[in-house]
Amino acid sequence: MKRIVSPAILIACLLAASSVAWAQDCTLWNNGQLAGTYTMSGSGFVDLSKMLPGMGLPSGLIPMTWVGAFTMDPSGGGTGWVSFNAAGNQMNVQLVGKKFSMNGDCSIQESFSMKIKELGITVGPVYRLLVPVTKPDGLELQMIFLGTPPGTPAGPALDLGVAHRISRQY
């Protein structure tokens, strides 16, 4: 009987301690703690006819991949750039009007417009949801484009990405 009780107590203690050790209290987070320079990459799908309305592009989701870098400043603003490939079409984008805010539930609401250099136009604003993940080697942001899922008429894109803070400078 003693052998059954001891492992059960040990497991219960480990489970209780693990929730305390891994829980993240986001009520203390603020924009200043997110400030810095980040690199990012991701992939997903985009409907260029919805992202760039009025240009006569065919409708339908096509695969895309992207890389870029951005800054976040303590006042909730920033800048950045993205180079993306959508079904073989390479475009370079400057992020303008970037705004973000840290929420008490560990989410970050972000919006920005995209100035597409090759087309000379600006589209947006677009919206992202980010979640900070603290790691031993620094801060990481998991992100998703806030649109509607593939197959529905309203959404221009669906993608997932990750950003790594490389500096506290912004």
The DSSP element (H or E) to which 113 belongs, if any, is strand 108-116
Q: Which domains does the chain have, with CATH numbers?
A: 25-167 (2.40.128)
Whether the Cβ atoms of residue 154 and residue 47 lie closer than 8 Å to each other: no
Closest CA to 114 of 149, 74, 145, 150: 145
**Mean model confidence pLDDT for the chain:** 83
What distance in Å separates the CA atoms of residue 113 and residue 91, rounded to the nearest whole number?
Answer: 15
Q: How far apart are the first and last CA of the chain?
A: 60
- pLDDT tens for the chain, residues 1 to 170: 455 455 545 455 544 444 444 455 677 788 988 999 999 999 999 888 888 888 888 888 899 999 999 999 999 999 999 999 998 889 999 999 999 999 888 899 999 999 999 999 998 888 889 999 988 989 999 998 866 544 444 567 788 899 999 999 99
Q: Indicate the pTM of the whole model.
A: 0.79
